Chain A
């Protein structure tokens, strides 16, 4: 890691300008949050806040920010503000600003209503001018003036009411679509907030190399935190929406639950303990959960020995050459193959070989094919990470190669392999597309049809001598159940009291199961790594 610059060698005193720049960044952040809230209709743009309409408020802040940013640039240029600007803002900034102004010019020309393609030269001229300003002039002007001007312009447009809450731009396309104020105003504000935030961060760093670092870091940190934010929102939202459906009809008390292995559970959760039936008070998705579990078990039983064995051969026995290269290409090819293509393959290859119907075992093997490259890649990495000293030490004891592999290499690589398998399982447990064509039956599956693979084995007198009708039956799984619930749509009304709750609860249970695999996998990796470091 490049940690050498963590101490600031050159440190200026915090001046008034720095403080104003910091406030500008803060204001941009506030504006960013406000526009996001408006975009997702948490606040309505037509509502007034403290007597001022929100559009006017946004416009006012934009004008203020734009003015301040331009002020920074001019102040630095005339020498009022102490900075170390470079001679130019650089190609990336120039390209960005010319694009922004090109788009703005084009839209203005279209809205004003120049005919034909007259908008193109207008947009080109404006974009070119922005490029010239950014690229030719000194950095302090080049990176503030175009940004400030955009913000100022859009702010004035909002302030004057040219774009008000009722504004609409109908795109005269054959398939009708319009840009409404509810979309344009927040997005425009969002965009300007990014620009002014970036420009103010550059000012805060005093332009030059440090200024650029500041501006770039602002955007990169914003990006990283929004990715985490999106993840958090997705999970929190699904949980909030799904929990009520999950606990529909839930009771806690001695002896209310179903009996598992002779023990009566003290809790009854119909959603995950019932199948679907006309006589049920509460419908549930038990068959889907059991189906998913069997799918995962089948896929793991198929793919893990194959993948780990292949990884052992590739790392320990095979010499690097044409053969290993082909295997590598094939593995990566399998990894990138779309899941629906696996489904098609299972439909064409497996289904006719297992009785001609969709069946549990076809689904297991299809998912196994998908899991194989994941297991192979991660196991190979884990085995490669085992230090050669281990192998040498074992060989020096006069132990044969296979015994070295069995008792030294594989145990040492086991944590990595296990982690890889768990993460891979998390991935395939949520897959819908491959099992769509190979395994799945109806939307609502009665509890009686819950797959019972172990009890299903039979021996027959004719080849292939072993039969298991449970494996050869179509069944359901959680991802498919969710898909079926979405496509079935309104028709659910008859069987479930609240279809929407039922859908969200299914989504939540699926997400919960998949993310538990991930949590276990990531936790295991973390644990093993710490253990390794302590040794």
Chain B
């Protein structure tokens, strides 16, 4: 089994190599040389930049010269090489982000090791106790309070954004007359455009004092209202992705249902929504991803004390989320505490990437199911 796979992989590789060499053979030797120099220069510039070398500018200059020479003489090939390197850069950036935030969080993961059955598990203590104390010994960097906060905020935000977002998407894609849609759709987009710090500012100056008064809580900041504000911010994501999903349901399916004499609401609930279900759930997932990563509103509106609320389901008090922890503490943090902030970043990053890949997988499934037409 594995043997055949290896053979297949080798065949694919040789096939690719043959295609590449025949492609190179078709080009002028000088053009190939130019592109080769460009590639080498660009890679060395990148390496130089990674190594914090002051000489980075030299290979970069060579790259620029080679690129302009290529552009003047062999435009097609140069353009192809340039666009390829630009494409690779997106992957590169994601890899660099992963690499750097992981690297920075290694010390605190080692510090927070805990032994289980005699085996030391790095980073385990971040999740087995709830103490965050960066000043007085024992110094502990627990992530549990912040994970709790993020879960609380995200849950409330999802409860707000998911039903409202899906219903608004239904409205935009199936119900609204053209003129109304032309008005509401930009409105939803603008809702996404309002900077998070402005949401946070309004929440901080208006909503938080109001909530403190209404629920007679001590001090300001509650997960409940941060969740509602973050839900409002995640709403546009849910709406636009869910609307795309609903639009991708073939018109023939809807018309077929309507021809059976159903009302359009029946068509929506029994044909369109089920057919687009995976796309709509991907939309909700992406909304959840947005809510998890929302920083400024949470930072400004929460108390910023890394603690659990008492009792755990007390949403009227808001302490800190993973994002607000970073934004609150980056200023005075150094050494191990800064690394702990990176650990929080790693948790955020992993969660969000998993959600992103999951929702893409769901969307692929849906495209395959609805087949061919899109």
Nearest opposing residue in chain B for A522, CB measure: B186
A332 touching B164, Cβ below 8 Å: no
| B-binding segment of A22-30, A74-82, A107-115, A309-317 | A309-317
* Contact B175 A220, beta carbon cutoff 8 Å: yes
Most chain B beta carbons < 10 A, residue from A327, A332, A333: A333
Bound complex: CA A220 to CA B176 (Å) = 10
A402 at the interface (CB under 8 A from B): yes
The reply on B101 being an interface residue by CB < 8 A is yes
Contact A330:B190 (CB < 8 A) given known A313-B86, A340-B348: no
- A191 lies within 8 A of chain B by Cβ: no
**A178 lies within 8 A of chain B by Cβ:** yes
CB nearest to A340 among chain B residues = B295
Question: In the bound complex, do residue A327 and residue B90 qualify as a contact, i.e. CB atoms below 8 Å apart?
Answer: yes
Q: Is the CB of B91 within 8 A of A330?
A: yes
Q: Is the CB of A310 within 8 A of B90?
A: yes
Q: Which chain B residues lie closer than 8 Å to A432 at the CB level?
A: 195-197, 295-296
Cβ of B289 and Cβ of A430 under 8 Å apart?
Answer: no
B363 to chain A minimum Cβ distance, whole angstroms, is 9
Interface of A, secondary structure class, is: helix
What's the Cα separation between A174 and B300 when bound, in Å?
24
User: Contact: A402 with B76, CB < 8 Å?
Assistant: yes
B62: interface (CB < 8 Å): no
B52–A352 touching, CB < 8 Å: yes
CA distance A80 to B360 in the complex (A): 54
Chain A: interface size category = 35 or more
A175-B217 contact, Cβ under 8 Å, with A309-B87, A344-B345, A369-B93: yes
* CB atoms of B90 and A503 under 8 A apart: no
Provide the residues of chain B in CB contact with A313, threshold 8 Å.
80, 83-84, 86-87
Nearest residue (CB) in A for B345 is A344
B187/A336 in contact, CB under 8 A: no
Taking CB atoms and an 8 Å cut-off, the chain B residues in 258-302 that contact chain A are 258-259, 262-268, 286, 289-290, 292-296, 299-300
Q: Answer whether residue A119 sits at the interface, using C-beta atoms and an 8 A cutoff.
A: no
Query: Considering only CB atoms, which chain B residue lies closest to A221 in the complex?
Result: B171
A141 interfacial by beta-carbon distance below 8 Å: no
Q: Which of B97, B171, B296, B316 contacts A220 (CB 8 A)?
A: B171
> What is the CB-to-nearest-CB distance from B200 to chain A, in angstroms, rounded to a whole number?
7
Chain B residues contacting A402 (CB-CB under 8 Å) are: 75-76, 79-80
Provide the residues of chain A in CB contact with B189, threshold 8 Å.
423, 518, 522
Q: B58 contacts A463, CB within 8 Å?
A: yes
Residues in chain B within 8 A of chain A (CB atoms): 49, 52, 54-58, 75-76, 79-80, 82-84, 86-87, 89-91, 93-94, 96-97, 100-101, 103-104, 164, 167-168, 170-172, 174-176, 182-184, 186-198, 200-202, 204-205, 210, 214-218, 232, 235, 254-255, 258-259, 262-268, 286, 289-290, 292-296, 299-300, 309-311, 314, 316-317, 323, 326-327, 330, 341-342, 345, 348-349, 352-353, 355-357, 360
When A and B form their complex, which 7 residue pairs have the shortest distance between CB atoms, in order from nearest? A430-B195, A338-B293, A313-B83, A309-B86, A402-B76, A464-B57, A213-B265
Listed A/B pairs (29) with beta-carbon separation below 8 Å: A2-B254, A2-B255, A175-B314, A176-B218, A183-B215, A209-B265, A212-B265, A223-B164, A227-B188, A309-B86, A310-B86, A329-B357, A330-B93, A338-B348, A340-B326, A344-B101, A348-B101, A405-B79, A426-B193, A431-B195, A432-B195, A432-B295, A433-B296, A465-B57, A479-B197, A482-B197, A483-B299, A515-B190, A522-B189
